[in-house]
């Protein structure tokens, strides 16, 4: 899929503007940020087909077409791909796995007649999936090899307040999804009455206390699961109120990852946001450093797009302005549990991308996000 020269020129201009302000380094650092690990999405091909047969065009959104909890084969394939590549300093590429540590406990929520919310660790959810009983051991293997570095993405990837309200109001589609063990029926990239992925969105000030509780419980569970505190946080859909940043700081988080802007909900409104622009090295009022993603690799979203050409251009801009190349690449690209072709073709593209970057810039260094954050903190 080709773009007009004018559009590509505009995108490169925006890219250079994004890379202008903030922290700089002479090192050519590459970080891979991968969101949504641990969260449920589509439980099985059977559930997917059931929703299609119900007239819900779930196939219109790749996250509901391909994404699911990572199976043993998914994780093994990703580890094999990453350990097949090294930079000239001996480092494997590192996937910073931005992890949702919990999922809804559907049984307990049903028992409460949808009046209360309950969650379970994602490691418990894995036990109910057919090809996932040893998945967490593969997480631990990837961590030990240095190709995985989990960080915190949320207690769950779910707007709990709005979801419970939809269940209590007997929303037909939401109940259908609930009965199938899922919570989101998004068919497009916007927030609707049947989409609930915006975990830190809110409408009233009273909801902020619940968001802070969610953060606190989630970060404690992260520590329990992985044996260390998460140094960084990225909000689902880059939506979060600044009021939660104090809680993040209190729980040991030091770095917030974002696109070049944050969507800050405005209290008293529904899905109305203020854009807050960010840059790498910026510091919040609560002392948290911002790390901005300045590239993306999402081949599941646009299979025919020239991702390698796009990444080469964005790497050139980042290194020109002495910025790290921070790549956003969601879990959906590496999941084959529902459709193995999705995983296999994208791992091939990932391998080619990383080798092409190394060939172009042999002095590239692969780091995890927390390692980049430590470097920023040290030099600032």
Rounded CA separation 272/17 (Å): 26
- Residue 69 reports pLDDT greater than 80: yes
Contact status, residue 252 vs residue 287, Cβ threshold 8 Å: no
Is it the case that residue 96 has pLDDT exceeding 60?
yes
Number of domains in the chain: 1
CA distance 302 to 279: 27
Q: Which of 61, 184, 41 is nearest to 125 (CA)?
A: 41
pLDDT tens-digit readout, 188-209: 877 877 789 999 999 998 999 9
Structural domain boundaries, residue 18: 5-379
Query: Could you tell me the pLDDT band of residue 353, with boundaries at 50, 70 and 90?
Result: very high
Whether the per-residue pLDDT at 10 is higher than 80: the answer is: no
Determine the pLDDT at residue 1.
Answer: 47
**Has residue 377 got a pLDDT over 90?**
yes
Task: Report pLDDT for 186.
Answer: 85
Distance of CA 193 to the CA centre of its chain: 22
| Res 11 pLDDT > 80 | no
pLDDT at 28: 98
Give pTM, 2 decimals.
0.95
CA distances to 96, 124, 228 from 211, rounded to whole Å, are 23, 23, 22
**Amino acid 13: pLDDT:** 82
Task: Indicate if the pLDDT at residue 99 is higher than 50.
Answer: yes
Q: 227 is written with which tokens?
A: 């044996």
Question: Tens digits of per-residue pLDDT, 46-64?
Answer: 999 999 998 888 899 999 9
pLDDT, position 367:
98
pLDDT of residue 54: 87
| Lowest-pLDDT choice from 13-17, 81-85, 260-264 | 13-17
Bridge partners, 273 (sequence order): 265
Tens digit of each residue's pLDDT (9 = 90 or more) over 200-251? 999 998 999 999 999 999 999 999 999 999 999 999 999 999 999 999 999 9
> For the segment 267-297, what is each residue's pLDDT rounded down to a tens digit?
988 899 999 999 999 999 999 999 999 999 9
CATH code (residue 93): 3.20.20.370
Cβ atoms < 10 Å from Cβ of 155: 24
Averaged pLDDT score across all residues of the chain: 95
17 has a pLDDT exceeding 90: no
């Amino acid at each position: 899929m080709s773009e007009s020269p004018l559009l590509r020129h505009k995108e490169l201009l925006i890219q250079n503007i994004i890379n202008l302000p903030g922290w700089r380094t002479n090192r050519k650092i590459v970080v891979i940020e991968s969101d949504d690990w641990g969260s449920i999405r589509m439980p099985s091909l059977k559930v997917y087909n059931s929703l299609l047969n119900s007239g819900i065009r779930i196939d219109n959104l790749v996250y509901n077409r391909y994404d699911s909890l990572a199976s043993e084969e998914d994780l093994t394939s990703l580890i094999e791909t990453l350990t097949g590549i090294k930079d000239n300093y001996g480092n494997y590429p590192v996937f910073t796995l931005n992890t949702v540590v919990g999922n809804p406990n559907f049984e307990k929520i049903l028992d409460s007649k949808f009046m209360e919310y309950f969650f379970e660790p994602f490691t418990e959810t894995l036990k109910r999936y057919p090809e996932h009983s040893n998945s967490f051991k593969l997480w631990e293997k990837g961590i030990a090899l240095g190709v995985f570095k989990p960080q915190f993405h949320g207690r769950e990837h779910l707007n709990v307040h709005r979801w419970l309200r939809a269940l209590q109001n007997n929303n037909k589609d939401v109940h259908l999804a609930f009965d199938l063990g899922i919570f989101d029926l998004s068919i497009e990239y916007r927030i609707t009455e049947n989409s609930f992925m915006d975990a830190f969105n809110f409408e009233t000030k009273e909801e902020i206390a619940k968001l802070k509780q969610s953060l606190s419980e989630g970060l404690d569970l992260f520590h329990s699961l992985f044996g260390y505190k998460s140094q960084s946080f990225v909000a689902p859909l880059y939506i979060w109120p600044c009021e939660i940043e104090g809680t993040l700081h209190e729980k040991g988080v030091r770095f917030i990852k974002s696109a070049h802007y944050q969507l800050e909900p405005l209290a008293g409104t529904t899905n109305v946001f203020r854009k807050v622009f960010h840059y790498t090295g910026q510091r919040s009022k609560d002392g948290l450093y911002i790390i901005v993603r300045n590239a993306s690799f999402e081949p599941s979203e646009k299979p025919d797009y020239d991702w390698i050409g796009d990444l080469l251009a964005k790497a050139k801009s980042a290194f020109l302005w002495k910025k790290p190349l921070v790549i956003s690449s969601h879990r959906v690209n590496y999941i084959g549990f529902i459709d193995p072709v999705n995983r296999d073709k994208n791992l091939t593209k990932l391998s080619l991308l990383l080798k092409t970057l190394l060939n172009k810039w042999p002095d590239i260094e692969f780091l995890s996000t927390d390692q980049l954050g430590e470097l920023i903190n040290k030099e600032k």
